[in-house]
Amino acid sequence: MARKYASLDNLKFLLYDVHNIEELFDYEYFKEFTSATIDMMLDASIDFSNRELFPFLSEMDRRGVAFEDGRVTVHPQIYNVLRKLGESDWINATRSFESGGMQLPQMMHYATEFIYTAANNPAIGYAMLTAGASKLIYSFGNDELKMNYATNMLAGKWQGTMAMTEPQAGSSLSYITTRAQHKSDGTYKITGQKIFISGGDYEGIDNIVHLVLARIDGSPKGTKGISLFVVPKMRVERDGNLADNDVITAGIFEKMGQHGYVTTHLVMGEQDNCVGYLVGEENNGLAYMFQMMNAARIGVGLMGAAIASAAYYASLEYAQERPQGRHAGSKNRDEKQVTIIHHADVRRMLFLQKAVVEGSLSLIMECAKYMDLSAAGKGEKYELLLDLLTPIVKTYPTEMGIVSVSNGLQCLGGYGYCVDFPLEQLYRDIRIATIYEGTTGIQSIDLLGRKMIMNDGRSAKLLAQAISTTIQESAAFERLKPDAKLLEEVVVSYKIVLKKLVSKAVSGRTESFLADANLFMEFCGLMVIGWQWLKQGISACKLLEKNAENVLFYESKIRTLRYYFSYELPKTQGLITRLLDNEDITLKEEKEYLI
Amino acid sequence: MARKYASLDNLKFLLYDVHNIEELFDYEYFKEFTSATIDMMLDASIDFSNRELFPFLSEMDRRGVAFEDGRVTVHPQIYNVLRKLGESDWINATRSFESGGMQLPQMMHYATEFIYTAANNPAIGYAMLTAGASKLIYSFGNDELKMNYATNMLAGKWQGTMAMTEPQAGSSLSYITTRAQHKSDGTYKITGQKIFISGGDYEGIDNIVHLVLARIDGSPKGTKGISLFVVPKMRVERDGNLADNDVITAGIFEKMGQHGYVTTHLVMGEQDNCVGYLVGEENNGLAYMFQMMNAARIGVGLMGAAIASAAYYASLEYAQERPQGRHAGSKNRDEKQVTIIHHADVRRMLFLQKAVVEGSLSLIMECAKYMDLSAAGKGEKYELLLDLLTPIVKTYPTEMGIVSVSNGLQCLGGYGYCVDFPLEQLYRDIRIATIYEGTTGIQSIDLLGRKMIMNDGRSAKLLAQAISTTIQESAAFERLKPDAKLLEEVVVSYKIVLKKLVSKAVSGRTESFLADANLFMEFCGLMVIGWQWLKQGISACKLLEKNAENVLFYESKIRTLRYYFSYELPKTQGLITRLLDNEDITLKEEKEYLI
């Protein structure tokens, strides 16, 4: 079993040096925090993970979840983790004081979430969902819903879920058919089915609170007729007692990975006795849900980076310990075998992982800082950038996270394929990440078809500006000049490619405009992570100039930056060639040729 | 469950039109064959697969293999398949008449192997190993070994294995320590352990014949002191009876995929009673083993392409049946949902799979034809090309096969991650392919460090010539000109890159020379598959000019070629940038920065 899954040094470097969390403490909103409290919380998170999460990772995979006689059983530690995170106020931490929260910077919350997820990705999903669902109730629900449901969720006593997908409506939510009918008491009668509901049911927890998208009778078709409801497994009656709310589990999905994380098929209202409580206004449900969904998208990106982090350290440890082969070119048969980290190709696979993990995490911190600056009242620019970056921060760490974990597995050779080492589980666990909360295809259409063109492309320009600012800042350091120049060229290409694509949209060629959205996403991901590596390079150079102690750490950042700009960023070249190509290859009529 | 796993039309197109198997029938060696027999055998293979292989794919995954009280249990169908393939002479088919074979063209044998493997990859491994091991005995063993062991293997009664890997010697075979001691009767006493031995033991089979690499006492260190032995589970005594040969199974490896294919840990000679029979000369074992290993490498490449084929058809079927979403740009909420093949990004993922599967299979046929031409006495050129292409045909179909299956899984969204559809199993099954029989790292060093430079680079030049011949041939077709030009540019880059890399080797910078062998491999793979697509394009154009009936099929080839040259081939650009870069990034001293 590997011993390390996340780097505290790296988290501190990103929090303090690259993304300057201390700057936040000058704002009224965050003034209770100091770097001492941050350090303490990070240490506590590692402690908690070492004790409550990491030791159960493999066991949860082996034991999985069970469904018998309508009852779902999960690993008992699931419930302990949720409860303890509730008790420590972690679930509620980022909310405002007046809502009972700690006003914890999102940067810090993601840092701890990264540690937890790297330690045990299936276990932490339950708490993440509960945090998102309770936050949604606090943001848009009435006082009764807050009191009756959200309080127990924050405390980690009740589980929260998001229930959107139906058998016929997955990526395409506008086809949702779950039905809500007005009742005389202001509540709604709910009937319908939801599938792929994570954390949707399990024994030992007192209640499960589903945030359900449904269509009220008479509402418009499409997304404009969708409302959001609280649909608990047990409803709180007027006398405070819990009554069965006619939400049953019809089955669970047997998955390739994340075996500890239950995925349910729910049936609501089979006995005509399922009550839903409207959240906010009728027909505005999808907009509300997007609060939770956007957070969940960043959360899934974080999950990708975190699983890749666990895989990186497991394969690094193996590479440092496993003897095999001789130095390149050695013909000396008496030479003892060297550890495999002495082989260039193994180091390449390790640098790849380090570049993906630390680059992704830096982007997550960038996004978190935008959230924090918004919370501190710093305004629209950061909201626009966050909106634009959300599909990218969901996609790069998951798509490249899969590649990264696969490289980790490859480092172990045959052992990587066996259950005695954690790599094979992590390889299975991470594969869902490009599907959860909108596939890469959906994210790519969101990025190109919506975010890049909204407000006349203002967000798209803001991103180019932000990257250019970093490039300018890097000019102070001779060592970074070649890489800064490469990134500058990529930004130029970004503008050219975007202009060309947008011209298709303007001329009404929608299908052609969006056909290669996935490649555009890949291109943007490479550019944005290059930006984050340049940022890390600047911080490392600054600290080296100041004769900071940990020279090896800062040098390692610059070496990994060099890896990224030499091996990863050039992948933009092939993408640009395709994105600037005039020929359509995958349009509708081509489907006949797929035989 | 998907209904199709391989395309007979495509196999026939490759066999007859692209690689002209009928040309072989003009040679004395293959004169017994006609296209009618080939067609019949293809049909029979599909029949056999539909009946004996495909229906058991998922079940073998679910039931897996078991190890209890020293006994290994596999799915009973494993034994049936081996026996039936033996009875139908399939195991022996490619060997000469005088050896009791059918002199079946290798092209045809691979065609049937492709069908079998696509239908059920774990089941077919047993027969493949038995074929390779028996062939090895026939090539280098004495008459007693042939009579006592190989005959029963050919008949599918006994299982064969290749036993090379030891706990301390995997990629680096020169560190093998399994010991062989001379005995007075000319046999050897064997003691040692072998791990990762596929098909190494199971109940129900009468005998298992291991081809074991071991070191005879007093032999030189390194690879020059390794000998090859037949070490059966049950040895044939002088009286013809079987006696226990002290080969025990210490355990089995629990793997992520290929659950039906048992992987054993063998201990030989614990009771001091394990006899080994030398194959060929002492200390020449690795050279013999490479006959089996080279075939196995092509076999693993074929496995990659075949699993990707099964995944392609499963995802294509899903895409044609699953309704989700509306046409791009449609705002009409009354529109019925379209099947997802109507979405450009889904088509892109399908074209990617088709390009990888059919491009890989074409390369396998190219290699098979070289084998056949060698067997027909057409000489050295084809042997050199085969030798050069072997690491590529092992690597491209496996590395890109993994990507291809992942794209298939992605087409299914959440369902792709669930066991109700075959994609998740295929995703797990194929992952071992870049590790079996030499990892991608090992193949890449073999390609660049050995094959590309041997005979003063003659093989490397032969490859460039072969591709150029195809480019010239394509000039007859206007539609292919743009793609031919792109491929020509890639061939020019190939020469430039190779020259630069070789100059490092010449100046003794071995570590730097080989550091990016993996990227060079990726580059060569893209080039060589581009070549195969151009070949397919030429055949398709010819047939379209002749007004062949199946226009849709030939058009689909040209469309997929266009996909490949637009989306895949441009990936060479980023690779060239890195390969021509002078800066070393991953050399030895950099390992300190992997923290």
Q: Does B567 touch chain A (CB under 8 A)?
A: yes
- Report the residue of B343, B354, B586, B589 to disrupt the A interface, i.e. the one with the largest count of A CBs within 10 Å: B586
CA dihedral sign of residues B236, B242, B245, B251: positive
Which candidate from B348, B519, B559 shows the least CB-CB separation from A518? B348
**CA max distance for chain A:** 88
Which candidate from B518, B566, B595 shows the least CB-CB separation from A553? B595
Identify the burial level of B8 via C-beta atoms within 10 angstroms of its C-beta, where 0-12 means exposed, 13-18 middle and 19 or more buried.
middle
Distance from CA of A350 to the nearest CA of B (A): 7
Residue of A52, A424, A437, A522 with catalytic role: A437
CA atoms within 13 A on the CB side of B106: 19
* Cβ pair B345, B560 in contact under 8 A: no
- Report the residue of B7, B174, B196, B256 to disrupt the A interface, i.e. the one with the largest count of A CBs within 10 Å: B256
Which candidate from B342, B345, B413 shows the least CB-CB separation from A517? B345
Give the pLDDT confidence of A321-333 residue by residue, as tens digits.
Answer: 999 999 888 888 7
Which candidate from B220, B325, B552 shows the least CB-CB separation from A595? B552
Q: Does A177 touch chain B (CB under 8 A)?
A: no
Whether A552 has a pLDDT exceeding 80, the answer reads yes
Is the Cβ pair A552, B431 closer than 8 Å? no
**Element (DSSP H or E) covering residue A312:** helix A285-321
Rounded CA separation A278/A525 (Å): 38
Closest residue on chain B to A330 (Cα)? B510
Which candidate from B172, B417, B570 shows the least CB-CB separation from A574? B570
Whether A547 has a pLDDT exceeding 90, the answer reads no
Residues of B in contact with A573 (CB under 8 A): 570, 573-574, 577
Closest residue on chain B to A358 (Cα)? B595
Residue of B366, B424, B437, B522 with catalytic role: B437
Closest residue on chain B to A315 (Cα)? B594
A437 included as an active-site residue:
yes
Closest residue on chain A to B331 (Cα)? A222
Q: Does B167 touch chain A (CB under 8 A)?
A: no
Q: What is the pLDDT of residue B329?
A: 81
Distance from CA of B404 to the nearest CA of A (A): 13
Give the pLDDT confidence of A384-407 residue by residue, as tens digits.
Answer: 999 999 999 999 999 999 999 999
Which candidate from A413, A434, A515 shows the least CB-CB separation from B344? A515
Q: What is the pLDDT of residue B199?
A: 97
Distance from CA of A510 to the nearest CA of B (A): 6
Rounded CA separation A161/A131 (Å): 9
Mean pLDDT of A266-279: 98
* Cβ pair A204, A75 in contact under 8 A: no
Interface of B with A in 319-378 (CB under 8 A): 319, 323-329, 333-334, 337, 341-348, 350-351, 354
Q: Does A192 touch chain B (CB under 8 A)?
A: no
Q: What is the pLDDT of residue B262?
A: 98
Give me Rg for the CA atoms of chain A: 24
Q: Does A565 touch chain B (CB under 8 A)?
A: no
Q: What is the pLDDT of residue B2?
A: 55
Whether A521 has a pLDDT exceeding 90, the answer reads yes
Closest residue on chain A to B450 (Cα)? A329
Q: Does A417 touch chain B (CB under 8 A)?
A: yes
Q: What is the pLDDT of residue B332?
A: 82
Two structure tokens written together for A9: 């040094």
Is the Cβ pair A595, B323 closer than 8 Å? no
Is the Cβ pair A413, B573 closer than 8 Å? no
- B518: CB partners within 8 A, 6+ apart: A345, A348, B440, B441, B444
Residue with tokens 């940990």: A550
Whether A2 has a pLDDT exceeding 80, the answer reads no
Residues of B in contact with A175 (CB under 8 A): 337
- B512: CB partners within 8 A, 6+ apart: B504, B584, B587
Is the Cβ pair B445, A324 closer than 8 Å? no
Which candidate from A337, A572, A594 shows the least CB-CB separation from B350? A594
- A458: CB partners within 8 A, 6+ apart: A384
Residues of B in contact with A402 (CB under 8 A): 406
- A337: CB partners within 8 A, 6+ apart: A323, A324, A325, A326, B168, B172, B175
Is the Cβ pair A562, B583 closer than 8 Å? yes
Rounded CA separation B6/B357 (Å): 10
Distance from CA of A418 to the nearest CA of B (A): 4
Rounded CA separation A183/A179 (Å): 13
**Element (DSSP H or E) covering residue B277:** strand B275-279
CA dihedral sign of residues B462, B466, B472, B473: positive
Distance separating the N- and C-terminal Cα atoms of chain B: 45
pLDDT < 50: residue spans in chain B: 1
DSSP reduced 3-state for A260? coil
Is the Cβ pair A345, B552 closer than 8 Å? no
Distance from CA of A131 to the nearest CA of B (A): 23
- Report the residue of B254, B560, B591 to disrupt the A interface, i.e. the one with the largest count of A CBs within 10 Å: B591
Q: The pTM is what?
A: 0.98
Residues of B in contact with A432 (CB under 8 A): 414, 417
**Element (DSSP H or E) covering residue A243:** strand A242-244
Whether A307 has a pLDDT exceeding 60, the answer reads yes
Whether A40 has a pLDDT exceeding 60, the answer reads yes
- B589: CB partners within 8 A, 6+ apart: none
Two structure tokens written together for B363: 């390369």
Which candidate from A165, A350, A594 shows the least CB-CB separation from B347? A594
Interface of B with A in 4-43 (CB under 8 A): 7, 9
- Report the residue of A342, A417, A437 to disrupt the B interface, i.e. the one with the largest count of B CBs within 10 Å: A417
Distance from CA of B335 to the nearest CA of A (A): 10
Q: What is the pLDDT of residue B547?
A: 86
Q: What is the pLDDT of residue B588?
A: 85
Q: Does B55 touch chain A (CB under 8 A)?
A: no
Q: Does A582 touch chain B (CB under 8 A)?
A: no
- B292: CB partners within 8 A, 6+ apart: B132, B133, B135, B136, B162, B211
Identify the burial level of B184 via C-beta atoms within 10 angstroms of its C-beta, where 0-12 means exposed, 13-18 middle and 19 or more buried.
exposed
Of the candidates A200, A192, A196, which has an alpha carbon nearest to the alpha carbon of residue A216? A192
Distance from CA of B289 to the nearest CA of A (A): 19
Closest residue on chain B to A564 (Cα)? B585
Output A96 or A271, whichever has higher pLDDT.
A271
Mean pLDDT of A363-375: 96
- A428: CB partners within 8 A, 6+ apart: A256, A257, A258, B256, B428
Is the Cβ pair A333, B220 closer than 8 Å? yes
Interface of B with A in 210-229 (CB under 8 A): 220-222
* Cβ pair A178, A215 in contact under 8 A: yes
Give the pLDDT confidence of A195-234 residue by residue, as tens digits.
Answer: 999 999 999 999 999 999 999 999 999 999 999 999 999 9
Is the Cβ pair A344, B511 closer than 8 Å? yes
